[in-house]
């Protein structure tokens, strides 16, 4: 299967998934109280945002697939050792267990930073500097929004606390 077919199929599946979520799953399975004053705090807001973004990404994949030629070579390298994938899968399971162990001690923000960075290096990212910057900034920005703007308590650790 060439890259064009992969892009088109992924895009169509993403748009179908977004349509399913927006028109059926969220209205029928996500309950929201009628007295929510702040739209951002509504249980319906973020599922609709993420579903809409999924649809936009799917549309982007379809457009990118249409612009590609059918003879484009796959961008992924051939797998040299198939057991390496199994080793990385086991390492991810170990990382998840470590996250659950570290969460009460370090808190959600610091644990998320470390887990993001560890996962980026576990999958051998081609952009390590970007991964480290995102690992540090994304949890901090989310903490700042939810703790200081939305007023939602974020679990803090025993060892380290954020303001």
For residues 31-40, average pLDDT? 82
pLDDT digits (tens, 9 = 90+) for 60-108: 999 999 998 776 566 666 667 778 888 989 999 999 999 999 999 999 9
Encode the chain in three state secondary structure: CCHHHHHHHHHHHHHHHHHHHHHHHHHHHCCCCCCCCCHHHCCCHHHHHHHHHHHHHHHHHHHHHHHCCCCCCCCCCCCCCHHHHHHHHHHHHHHHHHHHHHHHHHEHHHHHHHHHHHHHHHCCCCCHHHHHHHHHHHHHHHHHHHHHHCCCCCCECCCCCCC
Q: What is the pLDDT of residue 2?
A: 80
Q: Is the pTM of this model over 0.75?
A: no
For residues 14-25, average pLDDT? 97
**Mean pLDDT of the chain, nearest integer:** 89
Q: What is the pLDDT of residue 39?
A: 79
Domain boundaries, the chain: 3-67, 82-149
| Reported confidence tier of residue 158, pLDDT bands at 50, 70, 90 | confident
Q: What is the pLDDT of residue 10?
A: 95
């Amino acid at each position: 299967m060439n890259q064009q077919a992969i892009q088109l199929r992924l895009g169509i599946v993403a748009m179908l998934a977004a349509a399913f979520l927006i028109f059926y799953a969220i209205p029928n399975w996500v309950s929201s109280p009628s007295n929510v004053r702040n739209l951002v705090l509504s249980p319906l807001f973020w599922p609709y945002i993420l579903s809409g973004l999924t649809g936009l990404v799917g549309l982007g994949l379809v457009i990118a697939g249409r612009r590609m030629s059918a003879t484009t070579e796959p961008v992924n390298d051939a797998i040299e050792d198939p057991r390496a994938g199994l080793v990385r899968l086991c390492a991810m399971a170990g990382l998840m267990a470590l996250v659950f162990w570290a969460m009460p001690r370090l808190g959600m923000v610091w644990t998320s930073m470390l887990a993001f960075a560890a996962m980026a290096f576990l999958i051998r990212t081609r952009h390590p500097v970007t991964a480290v910057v995102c690992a540090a900034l994304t949890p901090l920005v989310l903490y700042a929004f939810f703790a200081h703007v939305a007023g939602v308590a974020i679990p803090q650790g025993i060892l380290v606390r954020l303001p």
